[in-house]
Amino acid sequence: MRISATSTCLSWIPPLAVEGTFKLPFALGIAHYDRPPPDHDPSVDALLAADAIRFANQLDAWIEVDNGRIVDAGTAGEGRVGRTRLRIGPFGIAFTAVPLPTLSPPPDVQGDHARFAQTAGGHTGVAVPHRIPRPPYWRITAPIAWSTVAVSIRADGSTESGIPSASVFPRHYLYDARGRLVNKTGLMQYRPWIHGLEDTKTPWSGHVDTAVVAGVPSPPERRVTDAILISQPDRQHHLPAGVLLQDRPIPESEVHVLLDGILVIELDTEAVSEVGPGAIFDPSLRSEESKAHVRVRARTDCRLAVVRRAELDDDALHAVAAVQVDRLRRFLQDPPEHGAPE
């Protein structure tokens, strides 16, 4: 019996992903940010054709099972590259990314389960100058964006997907075998990436760092966050690693949304969960239980947008608060063991 599974990683540039002078081409409309990809069943062909994503890594894996044991396994996936479109006034030009060879190591078969991995990506369409320590002291090349997708398939038909590693820019979204958005990379570093400082830290050079991965916010949070990203608010707060969010207070007329980084939720000083980009913090709807028991601390350096509450849908914010209150009450009734993040 053959059991198949497909997992897809989409790489895209969220609004507000670029800071400082680097965001000038985006602010002038020369370059563009991407709209958030869908929550489920993405069409890679349609998204690439619409210039809505930059890269896609689609891993198709299968196993053959006989009497509960795996007798054969293989993959048939591939990476897909998009185009970078630049516009100056009425004129536009598209630069096609340059793919690197797809890396697909042999499946790791262990009795009743098999693990597959595939790395795909390449140089972006537009080259930029990089300073180097030897003559001619400058090099023009395009930075590398990539992701590694992993899929485990068991003989009983269950599957699990993950992003063990990825480039530090842009954002990477992972969809499981059922087409659901299940993970995202939680930390972007545009400056070293655009300067090529990370080009030697790729699977093609034999160097791989573990990706900082976050779970996906609840559907109400995603709806509110997507609307905020598209509106591109001006104000931001930076929260260094180890600092409490309460140390960057905002009035109840404003809302915090996490743009980048990982925050730890502490219940009575014990870490019980982590949240990544898209998490929303609304001080006006914070419950008394939350005020008494919960603190929020930065695990990594974080960026948060500050948005006027009056600009957001009040019903949607109440839906977000209801999800957060329910989650807190479940933690209070049955705290996770050893403080392990969910």
Quick one: pLDDT band at residue 339, thresholds 50, 70, 90?
Answer: very low
pLDDT value for 337: 62
Is the pLDDT reported for residue 203 higher than 80? yes
C-alpha distances out from residue 143 to 136, 149, 246, Å: 19, 20, 37
pLDDT value for 22: 76
Lowest mean pLDDT among 1-5, 29-33, 62-66: 29-33
C-alpha distances out from residue 231 to 14, 24, 33, 226, 319, Å: 12, 17, 12, 9, 20
Quick one: pLDDT band at residue 340, thresholds 50, 70, 90?
Answer: very low
pLDDT value for 341: 43
Could you give the CA distance from residue 53 to residue 74 in angstroms, rounded to a whole number? 27
C-alpha dihedral, 10 to 259 to 317 to 215, nearest 10°: 50
- In percent, the amount of the chain with pLDDT more than 90 equals 61
Mean pLDDT of 217-223: 91
Among candidate residues 116, 21, 114, the one with its CA nearest the CA of residue 76: 116
Q: Letter for the amino acid at 143?
A: P
Mean pLDDT over each residue of the chain, to the nearest integer: 89
Quick one: pLDDT band at residue 137, thresholds 50, 70, 90?
Answer: low
Is the pLDDT reported for residue 95 higher than 70? yes
pLDDT value for 334: 75
Give per-residue pLDDT as tens, 224-256: 999 888 888 889 999 999 999 999 899 999 999
pLDDT value for 209: 80
Lowest mean pLDDT among 112-121, 137-146, 272-281: 137-146
CA atoms within 13 Å, Cβ hemisphere of 295? 14
Quick one: pLDDT band at residue 148, thresholds 50, 70, 90?
Answer: very high
pLDDT value for 197: 60
Go through the domains of the chain in sequence order and give each one's CATH number. 2-214 (no CATH), 219-339 (2.60.120.10)
Total-model pTM? 0.90
Quick one: pLDDT band at residue 133, thresholds 50, 70, 90?
Answer: low
- What are 284's two structure tokens? 């006006």
Neighbour-count burial for 218-243, b at 16+ CB within 10 Å, e otherwise: bebbbbbbbbbbeeebeeeeebeeee
Q: Letter for the amino acid at 47?
A: L
Mean pLDDT of 63-67: 93
Give per-residue pLDDT as tens, 281-324: 999 998 888 888 899 999 999 999 999 999 999 999 999 999 98
pLDDT value for 342: 42
Mean pLDDT of 255-268: 94
- In percent, the amount of the chain with pLDDT more than 70 equals 93
